Structure formats: C-alpha cells, structure tokens
Amino acid sequence: MHFIRNLSLEVVIGAILYQLFLFKVYFHSFPPPVEVVLLALVVWFLYLLDRQIDTIFQPVQDERHQIHLNYRNSFWVIIGILGVIITCLLPFLDIRILQAGACLSLLVLAYAFTWHKGILDSEKELFTAILYGLGVSLVVWVREPSSALLVLPLIALAYQNLCYFNLIESPSDFYAGRLRKTEWILIGLISGIYAATKDLFIVLPFLVTFGLTFLLSRRPLTEGMRFWGELAFWSPLIYLVYGVFSA
C-alpha cells in the first residue's frame, strides 16, 4: 500500500475504474484498450509532475513528497518515459477523442498558468475537480453528450475529496463550509440520478465514494486518512463486479 500511495497509483486506479464504469453504463461495453491505457498514463504523468513541482516551490509536506524529493532524478526519468509513450499512442485515438483531449490539455495549461500567477486563489480545487471529471469521462461525453448526468456527480465527488484534503492540511472555515455545501449538492445529484434511472447499481458507486469521504471527514483529520480518501474512488468496482456476475 505504501508503494501504491507514494507513486500516486491509487489515483490512477480510481480514474480508470470511474472511466470503465461510466462507459459501461452508457455503452454496455468497455472503452478501447488504448483509451484506458492513455487515461492511466496521462493521470500518472500529471500527478508525478505535480509532485515534482511541489518539491520545487513548497516545503516537504509528507512522506510521499519526501520520497519524490529524495528520488527526484528517477521520477523525472519516469515522467519523461511516460511523456514519450503518451505521444506514441496519440495517433491510435479516435479523432474526436484526440480533438477533445487537445482542448482539455489547453485548459490544463491555462489552469496551471493562472494558478502560478495566483489568479485562482481559493477556487483552485474547484477547477481541479472540473478538469478531473472532464478528463476521466472524456471518452464518454465525446460520444454521448447527455452523459453530463453522470459527469456532474463525479466532479462534485472530486471537489468533496479536495475540500477534505485541504482540511487535513490545515483547519479552514472556507473549506469546511464548501465541504458541507458539496455534500448537499451530491445528495441532490445522486437522488436525481436514482429517480431518473431507477437503478441502484448506477448510483451505488457515487453513493459509496460520497459516503466514505463523508465518514472520513467526520473523523480526526490526519495525514494517514488521505490515502483512504483516494481509495474511495475505487467504488466502481461494485458496479463492475456486479456486472460480471449478473451477465
């Protein structure tokens, strides 16, 4: 578990599981393997890069950042290799996915620039959640625009998670208030999806991710709980395993 956490692989696994879940709901199949692999590589690339940037501009915050600082050169090699593999796989994508991915990449660059300039300030986590939700679900909403019904709770779950992580780092009335408001929004979204679909197993992954983060946020806010907050995004396993045994 320490290996998975220190390499941010729990985030990668959670992103893949939500991509598979959303694609399965709308198309009753799994996305092409190249799209799954690319999502995994891009998410891992961005998170490793983010950790390296943190070690440059911020003091070491936890064990994971310390490891990234100690093995900085090795991580830069991994980041470089990931960048090369991602570039080599791009020609195999559907042109619609490639175009949407390019637009999203521009948004990521704009996000990074505005954050560096201090423009985003306290809304950094909100934009992070939006980019995360759009990126994870990209192969779904490009093919089916109506999938926004399920993309919205994913964005809200990501924001709930980020508010919780901010509270772990330091007490904040702002993020405590945002966390409570996001919880009410999620209750409304999840209830609305169930009312529209009448399918418990479609809302169950969202409900489990929401519930785990909700419970963790009511416990003592320690750095050790961050990993379990990331594991909350593995909840689509419920839907995927159910699909295997119900087929």
Please give the Cα distance from 90 to 224 (Å, whole number).
Answer: 37
| Nearest Cα residue to 76 out of 37, 45, 34, 100 | 45
Q: Is the pLDDT of residue 89 over 80?
A: yes
Measured in whole angstroms, how far is the alpha carbon of residue 211 from the centre of its chain?
17
CA distance 214 to 123: 21
What percent of the chain has pLDDT above 70? 91
Inform me whether the pLDDT recorded for 163 exceeds 90: yes
| Length of the chain as a residue count | 247
Predicted confidence (pLDDT) per residue in 194-244, tens digit: 999 898 889 999 999 999 999 999 888 887 788 888 889 999 998 888 766
Average pLDDT over residues 168-187: 92
pLDDT at 62 over 70: no
- Look at residue 247 in the predicted model and tell me its pLDDT: 53
**Residue 218 DSSP code:** T
Domain boundaries, the chain: 2-246
Confidence of residue 170 (pLDDT cuts 50, 70, 90): confident
pLDDT band at 59 (very low <50, low <70, confident <90, very high): low
Question: For 20-50, how does the pLDDT look when each residue is reduced to its tens digit (9 = 90+)?
Answer: 999 999 999 999 999 999 999 999 999 888 8
pTM of the model: 0.91
